[in-house]
Structure 1
Amino acid sequence: MDTWNIIREALPYLSQGLYMTIVISIISNVIALFIGLAAGFMRMSKNSVLRFIAASYVNVIRGTPLLIQILFIYFAIPSVFDMKLSAFTAGIIAISLNIGAYMTEIFRGGIQSIDKGQMEAGRSLGFSYGRTMALIILPQAVRRMIPAFVNQFTHAIKDTSMLSVIGVAELTMEGQSIYAMNFRAFEILTVVGVFYFILIYAVSFMSTRLERRFSVS
């Protein structure tokens, strides 16, 4: 069978895997944004307990491989608590927690990069701390954080490939299943690599447009 026929027959299955990769990446990043925002404020809190919890979370996640985190959530935690997690759910949780740790530092750094006078100005106008943060500080900080957000999104896309170890039918897993049957790894992995490249390039392109749109410096 020639190369083009192999690729043509594989495309429907690889497209399904690509769709799963996109879905997992989007869901994980949305959850990670909320985790990062909450943990970021905890890291900046005056409460030492909250700071300790957030710092411990960030250090543990950043100090251990994502693969171990995936296996721990899928195999270890269910065995201890006598529960069952689907591979999809475990994958979402693992990638969300992993990206969330990096988002925590992005939020903390972005917020702290805004001049403290902005907060003082908001408070002098009678705004509460929360309202000043929501209306004045965060909008400015988010504009500066856009490149870092996109960088983490591209990491999430690539990280989904590790979910193949627990059987999630994302792009890499679909590719492995196909070349395990037809023994044409070169052609299949080339297409898988091209799919990843196109997806990540598209995200990077949109990031550049957003930076120009919002004049991110």
Structure 2
Amino acid sequence: MIGYRSTMPYHWDFMAVLQGYRLFIEGAKGTLVLTTLSLLLAIPLGALLCALRVLRIPLLGAWSVTYVDTLRAVPAIVLFYWLFFAFPMITGLGLSALVVSVGAVALQSAAFFSEVFRSGLNAIPRGQWEAALSLGMSRHTAFLFVIAPQSLRALLPSFMTRSIDLIKTTTFASVISYNEIVYAASQVTASTYHPIETYVVLGGIFFVPIFILSMFARSMERRFGRSRSQ
């Protein structure tokens, strides 16, 4: 009936939810493993994609642009479903939920990290390139020993922000039943029948580390802004 409101009172019970702390701990471990492995794969892949584009390597540079533009446009959840369901059907290779989750998160995050690294490189004045090349360095040597080290400070705030987004992206792993913290929350909800309290607790678990990382990224951004203005 339109406009009907239930008068049944809701009994709040956070203790029932907190009794499922073991599930939250196991889920947090799963999220930590997924985040760590994804970062370890996404960062070097993103750096490689950036290098291929900046150094203007024939064919590989064009492939890098295509990869970055495509993976940034595809929703992360589509990658999870595609790798978990479509990829085994096409190749005959079955992948575990962890492998699919790491692959989906890392492959897309690498595209974003590539743009983070490229923005850091673009923050370096063109004169630095010209000075290095005038000393007889090749573009590859100038990139590795002159440009890249200077760009690290410029890209740190964006790098931290992108890392936070990666952590949030790991929550999609719950759709393929990988035991991360959101999947653990669904198990707690199923056993306690207290979804509101469960997801309040889940929100708090995410809020604390992400808020700290966000404040750190903002601090780095302000510090870098002051150093550039001096």
Q: What's the TM-score once normalised by structure 2's chain length?
A: 0.86
Q: Counterpart of 2:224?
A: 216
Question: Are residues 1:207 and 2:217 paired?
Answer: yes
Which residue, 39, 57, 60 being the options, matches 2:49? 39
Q: Counterpart of 2:183?
A: 173
8 A Cα contact 2:129 2:147, kept in partner = yes
8 A Cα contact 1:70 1:163, kept in partner = yes
8 A Cα contact 2:68 2:112, kept in partner = yes
Q: Counterpart of 1:15?
A: 25
8 A Cα contact 1:107 1:145, kept in partner = yes
Higher helix share: 1
What one-letter code is carried by the residue in structure 2 that aligns with 1:155? D
Number of residue pairs matched by the alignment: 215
The Cα shift of 1:48 comes to 4.2
Q: For residues 113-158 of structure 1, what are the alpha-carbon distances to aligned partners after superposition, in whole Å with 9 as ceiling and x for unaligned?
A: 2112212222333444333222221121111111111111111111
The Cα shift of 1:62 comes to 1.5
8 A Cα contact 2:161 2:217, kept in partner = no
The Cα shift of 1:210 comes to 5.0
Deviates more, 1:200-209 or 1:171-180: 200-209
The Cα shift of 1:201 comes to 1.3
Question: Are residues 1:137 and 2:147 paired?
Answer: yes
Separation of aligned partners in 1, 2:138 and 2:59: 24
The Cα shift of 1:103 comes to 1.0
Question: Are residues 1:125 and 2:135 paired?
Answer: yes
8 A Cα contact 2:158 2:217, kept in partner = no
Question: Are residues 1:152 and 2:162 paired?
Answer: yes
Separation of aligned partners in 1, 2:51 and 2:85: 31
8 A Cα contact 2:17 2:194, kept in partner = no
Percent identity between matched residues is: 26
Question: Are residues 1:186 and 2:196 paired?
Answer: yes
The Cα shift of 1:85 comes to 0.8
The Cα shift of 1:211 comes to 5.3
Structure exhibiting the larger radius of gyration computed from Cα positions? 2
Q: 1:65-80 to 2 correspondence within 5 Å?
A: 65-80=75-90
Q: Counterpart of 2:62?
A: 52
**Which residues of structure 2 form unaligned runs of 5+?**
1-10, 226-230
8 A Cα contact 1:73 1:94, kept in partner = yes
Q: Counterpart of 1:87?
A: 97
Q: What's the TM-score once normalised by structure 1's chain length?
A: 0.90
Q: What's the secondary structure of 1:216's corresponding residue?
A: helix
